[in-house]
């Protein structure tokens, strides 16, 4: 099976013009097969990007990219539900469901399952495949042993499995907006303060150690996931799709490094050296994969 490089949805509240220009650059320069669009974290942000969505879609399609629209990962309000319905009920694009509320609108038609769904065992794969899923992005906290078991089952079901290989790790979602609270605002009157942190707001421990990042209602890792060293093993497990999660710095260059790694043009050590130069200025991590604390790095 030919490996594919994918670009996950932008998870942050970037300036709409920057969001547009980012996807224009992806269309022109990023060697990715599939691009995920759509608001995953906060329904209030979605309207900010609507004025540019049509031209972004056209630019990406003209560049030959396959497009997938992602749904919200948490639904707590009527506004959230309406956004999920608007995205999932549309038959114009292939849909990635990130919350179970999207499944009723998909009504069994072919779709993808995102990393925010609880797909931790073979029975889950059976269920989602029977409901129309064609590809599943496994949760980023899955260890190698679990990924291997899922790969064997997916092969029997004819499912494509995807794993995030780069970017901050999504850890949790809350009904409350951490960003608004940190700036003494309510969720309803946040004034989109999350736009101050294009890669999330770093949280420190009481001892002053950077520990987590906050992105609106979402908690992420402070570290940057990097599975360059594990790419060959993932392929042996049956993983055919490798996801880069966008960050504000160097994402297109990151996709080029992973593309070269998949094509054996770079060694894992060479790829990681390049990623140190072009990506987020934070430590790498791969602990979850090795069944250790997620923030750890195993060289």
Confidence band of 97 (pLDDT split at 50, 70, 90): very high
Residue 291 falls inside a structural domain: no
pLDDT of amino acid 107:
83
At 126-177, the pLDDT tens digits run 999 999 999 999 999 999 999 999 999 999 999 999 999 999 999 999 988 9
Average pLDDT over residues 102-122: 93
Confidence band of 279 (pLDDT split at 50, 70, 90): confident
Confidence band of 188 (pLDDT split at 50, 70, 90): confident
The 3-class secondary structure across the chain, one letter per residue, is CCCEEEECCCCCCCCHHHHHHHHHHHHHHCCCCEEEECCCCCHHHHHHHHHHHHHHHHHHHHCCCEEEEECCCCCCCHHHHHHHHHHHCCCCCEEEECCHHHHHHHCCCCEEECCCCCCCCHHHHHHHHHCCEEEEECCCCCCHHHHHHHHHHHHHHCCEEEEEEEEEEEEEECCCCHHHHHCCCCCCCCCCHHHHCCCCEEEECCCCCEEEEEECCEEEEEEEEECCCCHHHHHHCCCCEEEECCCCCCHHHHHHHHHHHHCCCCCHHHHHHHHHHHCCCCCEECCCCCCCCCCCCCC
Q: Is the pLDDT of residue 1 over 80?
A: no
Degrees, nearest 5: CA angle 188-189-194: 95
pLDDT of amino acid 192:
82
Average pLDDT over residues 56-62: 97
Average pLDDT over residues 71-87: 92
At 227-244, the pLDDT tens digits run 999 999 999 999 999 999
Decide if 55 contacts 81 (C-beta within 8 A).
no
Average pLDDT over residues 282-292: 96
Residue 135 falls inside a structural domain: yes
Average pLDDT over residues 63-76: 96
- By residue range, what is the domain housing residue 126? 4-167+225-266
pLDDT of amino acid 181:
87
Confidence band of 245 (pLDDT split at 50, 70, 90): very high
Stretch among 3-7, 181-185, 280-284 having the lowest mean pLDDT: 181-185
Residue 177 falls inside a structural domain: no
CATH code of the domain covering residue 78: 3.20.20.70
Residue 36 falls inside a structural domain: yes
pLDDT of amino acid 74:
93
To the nearest whole number, what is the mean pLDDT of the chain?
93
Residue 217 falls inside a structural domain: no
The CA distance from 201 to 160, in Å, is 33
Residue 215 falls inside a structural domain: no
Average pLDDT over residues 199-224: 93
The CA distance from 213 to 203, in Å, is 6
Confidence band of 102 (pLDDT split at 50, 70, 90): very high
Residue 190 falls inside a structural domain: no
Counted domains in the chain: 1
pLDDT of amino acid 91:
84
Residue 188 falls inside a structural domain: no
pLDDT of amino acid 284:
95
């Amino acid at each position: 099976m030919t490996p594919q490089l994918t670009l996950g949805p932008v998870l942050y509240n970037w300036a709409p013009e920057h969001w547009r220009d980012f996807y224009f650059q992806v269309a022109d320069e990023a060697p990715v097969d599939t691009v995920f669009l759509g608001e995953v974290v906060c329904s209030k942000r979605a309207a900010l990007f609507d004025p540019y969505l049509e031209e972004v879609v056209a630019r990406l399609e003209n560049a030959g990219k396959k497009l997938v629209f992602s749904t919200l990962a948490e639904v707590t309000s009527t506004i959230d539900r309406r956004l999920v319905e608007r995205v999932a009920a549309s038959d114009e694009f292939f849909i990635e469901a990130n919350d179970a509320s999207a499944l009723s609108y998909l009504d069994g038609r072919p779709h993808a399952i995102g990393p925010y769904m609880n797909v931790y065992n073979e029975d889950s794969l059976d269920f989602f495949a029977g409901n129309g899923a064609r590809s599943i992005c496994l949760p980023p906290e899955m260890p190698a042993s679990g990924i291997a078991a899922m790969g064997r089952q997916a092969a029997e079901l004819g499912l494509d499995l995807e794993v995030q290989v780069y970017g901050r790790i999504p850890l949790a979602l809350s009904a409350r907006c951490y960003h608004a609270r940190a700036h003494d605002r309510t969720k309803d009157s946040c004034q989109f303060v999350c736009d101050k942190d294009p890669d999330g707001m770093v949280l420190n421990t009481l001892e002053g150690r950077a520990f987590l990042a906050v992105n609106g209602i979402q908690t992420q890792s402070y570290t940057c996931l990097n599975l360059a060293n594990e790419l060959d093993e993932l392929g042996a497990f049956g993983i055919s799709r490798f996801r880069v999660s966008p960050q504000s710095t160097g994402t297109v260059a990151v996709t080029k490094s992973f593309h070269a790694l998949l094509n054996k043009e770079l060694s894992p050590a060479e790829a990681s050296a390049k990623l140190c130069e072009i990506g987020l200025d934070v430590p790498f991590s791969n602990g979850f994969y090795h069944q250790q604390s997620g923030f750890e790095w195993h060289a």
